[in-house]
Structure 1
């Protein structure tokens, strides 16, 4: 199970341009397994992060899911393609679950993708870019020219070439993306993606909607 590795705070344009396919990591376990030894209290899990949380769903939903993902992780992409839409329809949009995705980049390409999503804007704009980049993951994560591919994808969202370059050279944003990852690795013992916290209880690995329902429904029944 790969561990996240701290990268020096260099200009991302130079880092990504020098990468080859073998340099990107993807981690995950299938199916998800509960870590019976790890339950994070709410005051710790929801303490202010390096980056503000983007929350989907009602603030007072009885169940909260926090996902730590890497944009280059194929297990994360499959979760967002197969499980996430059903999660939204069945639980988030009905007020039963609130969902938070936090950045846990396992490599510079994933860090760049998260930065571009943050530069797109808050709320729905960031979420839309996350969806776009997960859905097109192979095209840029496996590309010999990831910058060109990412730039083309971001043009679909209205981001100019100038704004694209400025985003990837935003040292403060890069530092916060990396801090979000490193803090989670230290505080919540995360070393692979996807990792979920469902009402504070840790689950590591990819998870189907059926498996997720078996976790969520008993929590709803207690309310």
Structure 2
């Protein structure tokens, strides 16, 4: 199935039912997204990344900055990274649903593979977008039937959209990537390692 990013941007009309649900019904239809993170739970600083799998700036951060952040900050216990879904379009939403359906230990590798191959599955106008996502998911142990089931899971879709709405309301996120350092400081944009490290240090009070 081919999906056009140009024609499937997530408009307010898509989010209105989600807002109504958040006010009056159980969130996500009972789906618990669970946390997808890297780093120790007792790290002095928690950084949340609000990202979209079809965002080229998110891909650039993951390619150019994240490896060093992981090696020098996460693996040394200075911070914990938590990934938050903020899909910018329906294709990103579908990809996020597949990612969220994988076991947690396969999540980081899968989103990394998607972000590093956007030209293949997200921006190739001649591609069957979902088939291309399924090919990458197969490397993580998910077959096409499971991919389709994940994408057709309405409760999961609603839960992800509710997470996006919460980011908009609580952290005023309006673009990707955006990073929340600690409880309140939100910084948008594709950050360099030096800037990212500086913000972690500030959040730790060091």
Specify if TM > 0.5: yes
- The answer as to 2:131 corresponding to 1:148 is yes
**Counterpart Cα distance in 2 of 1:24 and 1:98:** 33
Partner of 1:210: 194
- The answer as to 2:109 corresponding to 1:128 is yes
Alignment check: 8 A CA contact 1:50 1:179 kept? no
| C-alpha distance 110-154 of structure 1, shift in aligned 2 (>3 A) | same
| C-alpha distance 179-50 of structure 1, shift in aligned 2 (>3 A) | farther
- Of 61, 66, 82 in structure 2, the residue corresponding to residue 100 of structure 1 is 82
Alignment check: 8 A CA contact 2:47 2:81 kept? yes
- Of 98, 101, 105 in structure 2, the residue corresponding to residue 116 of structure 1 is 98
Structure 1: 5+ residue runs without aligned partners? 1-16, 26-48
* 1:53 aligned counterpart, secondary structure: coil
| CA deviation vs aligned residue, 1:14-45 (integer Å, no higher than 9, x gap) | xxx353353366xxxxxxxxxxxxxxxxxxxx
TM-score (structure 1 length as normaliser): 0.76
**Counterpart Cα distance in 2 of 1:100 and 1:57:** 9
Alignment check: 8 A CA contact 1:72 1:137 kept? yes
- Give the structure with the larger helix fraction: 2
1:49-128 superposed matches below 5 A: 51-122=33-104, 124-128=105-109
Partner of 1:28: none
TM-score (structure 2 length as normaliser): 0.82
**Counterpart Cα distance in 2 of 1:106 and 1:21:** 9
RMSD: 1.8
* 1:23 aligned counterpart, secondary structure: coil
Alignment check: 8 A CA contact 1:117 1:130 kept? yes
What is the CA distance between 1:135 and its match in structure 2? 1.1
